[in-house]
Structure formats: structure tokens, C-alpha cells
Amino acid sequence: MLPGEKLLKRGLHRSVWLSACGGTVIKRFRSDSVWRRATDGRRARREARMLARLAELDLAVPRLVALQRSSAGWEVHSAAIAEARSLEELLGSGPDSTLANPKSLGAALARFHTNGFLHGDLHPGNLLATRSAEWFLIDVSRGRIRTPLPRGAALDELAGLLAAIRERTTPAWRAELWRAWRDGTGATHDASDDCEWRQLELVARRARHRSVLVHQDRWLRPSSRLRELEVGGESWLVARRAEEPEELLRSLVCSELSTPSHVASARRRAALISGPDAERQWRNAARAGEHGLPGLRTIAWCRARSLAVLEALQPGGPRELRASDGESAALFDALADRGLWTPAPPLVERAADGRLVLSPAHDLPANFRPAPDGATPAAWFDAPRSAEHAK
């Protein structure tokens, strides 16, 4: 790092910096692995070639400034995009954000696909929007140009993006993005449109569900969401967004770890869960959060003692969702939209702030389970109980 440079993003094998003058973005390729370091130059040259080729096609990518090798490793210099924000950042303020316009995004993706370009790693962090709602693609080193581009390949890439953003967008928002993409690719409108959209949503739901299951080990090790913390002689994994975790854990260690109670409160801010079910309930709460469902916030986990610290609950314990709760329709829609439908009402509890949340005692389906055609929230409460429902 040179004086005045600002770190924008750091990955396993590369980092992105903003130059001291603010007009240039520097992408440095440098891996810890000796073998990967031998391929840094090839990856940097590929990124530079792809930026130049896409600029020739008049597509919205950062302008290539230079490709060079320095003491810090191979570097690709490109022009900074003024006042640009990533789709990841925009969706953090909700799908109704002015810049996160699904029509302009769908049209921009259609321009890339009609020119035969597949990004290869299309996710919200690689899409930047300017104040004029112009969309840019970055990190194009994995991309390839293929003409004519098969429609199925373009739909697969679009499904991957929809999977990555489905917890932060509404079905109507995603449908509008797809319609803009369809119109931009010049596809004819016919009776098969609805079938294609339903298939695209199904593929995206399955992809998101699979991604959450594959990466669930990060809930039990240090990651971008959890950091290690030493408290009371024990090693804890603490959620990075948790407020004042050290004080909370010290209070628990001093007053509660010596008691045999299954659930105990500390200043009514957290619940301590111990015993053989602790890991299961920790995973359930984390999975609900990954799927964007109303669940308890994870705070800390101690593997050595099998202790989970979750957001506080009101007294009463888990119970089945009732039709009179008022949130049954919203919860039904959320589970159905994510392929997590269950034939019986889910177990719910009240959080300390009054929210109705999925209970950590409720096991989300391990496999993708879409709601059957015609299913409604009333089906939960009217259906006869069976052995399958009781599981």
C-alpha cells in the first residue's frame, strides 16, 4: 500500500485500492500460496484484456488505465466511477431504493448478454450504479465472450444473481428485472413467458437454498460474520454485529454458566442455551438469518462447552403459529418463496422486542420444499395432523 491509498475491498487472492488522488482504482493480485502467485500475472492480464475488449463493444465497464507489475504484485489500474454504489449496498436500504431500479438493471444485463458476454461471477458486489442509474460491471477476469450466446447460459447467470438477492428483494421487484432483461434481449412475448419466469424463480430458490446449506460450516468457525473472542478462559465465536458482546458474555460467564438451567437471561438482552440441543438451535437461528426469515439474532457460540447465546425471548416458550397471530400470511409467503415450506405450522416465539420470530427449536427443512400449488396459510391450520406433520 502506498501513502494515501484507501482499501476498498480485500479478497483471498486480491485487493482493491483507491489511489491517493481518488481518480484511479488499483486491483492488486497477490496470493499467499506460491502456486497461486505464479498465476497472478495471467489473471491480471486476462482482466486487462477483458476490460479493453468490453470497452470496444461499448459496454459499461471501468476504463482500463494501465497493467503493470510492482513490488506489491501484478496490478490492474482502471478509472474510478464517480459516486458509484454497489447493488449490495443499495439493497441494504431496501429494494425500493431509487438507484436499485430493476428496469435499468435488467436492461444493462441484457446489453452484456446480447453482446455474448458472460460474467462468470455475477453477484451484487460486482454491479455498480451511478447517480444517473447507469450500471457498470466490475471484476471481469472470469468472464468470457461467446457469440451467439445460448439463452440458457444467460438465464443460468441471471438465476444466480436472483438467488443472491432474493432475501433483500420482493418477487415483484425480481419479476420486473426479468421482464426488462427479456425485452432487452429481444425475446418475443408469448404464452411461454410465464413458464420461463416460474422456472427461473425455481432455479434461483434451489440455488440459494443449496448455497446456505453448503456454507453453514462458517457458523461454527471464524468468518466474515463471526470473530473469535476470549472470555472467562473460553474461546467464543461472536457475531461481528453484536453490540457490547464482551460485557454480555462476562455477565453470563459469572452468573449463569454454573447453573443447570437450560435457558437463562442476562439483563434481558440474551438467552443462554446449553446442552445437546445448543448447536442445533444455533444453526437454526443462523439459517433463518441467512434466508432472511424473522428469527433470533445470533450473538455468540462456544464450541468447547456447546453453549449458544441468542437474542432474548419473552417467557412462554415455543408454540405452533396460530391463524390469529396476524403474521401467519407473511411467514407463509416467506417460507414458500425460499423453498422452506413445511406441511405443519412452524414453531414460533416472541422476541424481547415483541417481534414474532421462528423459534430456534424449529428445524428448517434440510431439502428444498416448495409449497404445493394452491397452498394457502389456511392449509396449515386446516390440514389433519399426520406422522409427517409431527416430525
Closest CA to 162 of 111, 132, 199, 214: 199
Lowest-confidence segment of 37-41, 141-145, 335-339 by average pLDDT: 37-41
- In Å, how far are 189, 197, 355 from 342, measured between CA atoms? 35, 24, 21
Provide, rounded to the nearest whole percent, the portion of the chain with pLDDT above 90. 39
Q: Looking up cell 414453531, which residue turns up? A: 347
Residue of 331 and 3 predicted with greater confidence: 331
Q: Give the type of residue at 244.
A: E
* pLDDT band at 283; cut points 50, 70, 90: very high
Mean pLDDT of 130-150: 92
Local structure of residue 313 (DSSP, 8 states): B
Topology of the domain covering 6-79: Phosphorylase Kinase; domain 1 (3.30.200)
Lowest-confidence segment of 74-78, 169-173, 185-189, 360-364 by average pLDDT: 185-189
Q: What is the pLDDT of residue 178?
A: 94
The neighbour count for residue 377, using CB atoms within 10 Å, is: 18
Q: What is the mean pLDDT of the chain?
A: 85
Residue of 98 and 102 predicted with greater confidence: 102
Which three three-digit cell numbers place residue 205?
Answer: 430458490
Q: What is the pTM of this model?
A: 0.80
- What is the DSSP track for 107-136? HHHHHHHHTTEE-SS--GGGEEE-TT--EE
Residue 197 has pLDDT above 70, yes or no: yes
Residue 387 has pLDDT above 60, yes or no: no
- CATH for the stretch 85-214: 1.10.510.10
Q: What is the pLDDT of residue 102?
A: 93
Q: Looking up cell 408454540, which residue turns up? A: 319
Q: What is the pLDDT of residue 174?
A: 93
Residue 248 has pLDDT above 60, yes or no: yes
Residue 125 has pLDDT above 70, yes or no: yes
Angle between helices 193-214 and 171-184 (to 10 degrees): 120
Mean pLDDT of 46-66: 95
* pLDDT band at 110; cut points 50, 70, 90: very high
Domain ranges of the chain: 6-79, 85-214, 319-390
- Residue 259, Cβ density class (10 Å: 0-12 exposed, 13-18 middle, ≥19 buried): exposed
Are the CB atoms for 60 and 108 separated by under 8 Å? yes
Which uninterrupted H or E stretch holds 389?
helix 387-390
Q: What is the pLDDT of residue 265?
A: 47
pLDDT digits (tens, 9 = 90+) for 58-71: 999 999 999 998 87
Residue 45 has pLDDT above 50, yes or no: yes
Lowest-confidence segment of 89-103, 123-137, 262-276, 326-340 by average pLDDT: 262-276
Mean pLDDT of 70-84: 88
* pLDDT band at 329; cut points 50, 70, 90: confident
Lowest-confidence segment of 7-11, 116-120, 189-193, 236-240 by average pLDDT: 189-193
Q: What is the pLDDT of residue 277?
A: 86
**Residue 285: which residues within 8 A CB-CB, separation 6 or more?**
295, 296, 297, 298, 308, 310, 360
Are the CB atoms for 49 and 67 separated by under 8 Å? no
- In Å, how far are 102, 155, 178 from 181, measured between CA atoms? 9, 10, 5
Lowest-confidence segment of 78-87, 188-197, 345-354, 356-365 by average pLDDT: 188-197
Which uninterrupted H or E stretch holds 298?
strand 298-302
Mean pLDDT of 13-27: 84
**Residue 356: which residues within 8 A CB-CB, separation 6 or more?**
294, 325, 327, 331, 348, 349, 350
Residue of 52 and 375 predicted with greater confidence: 52
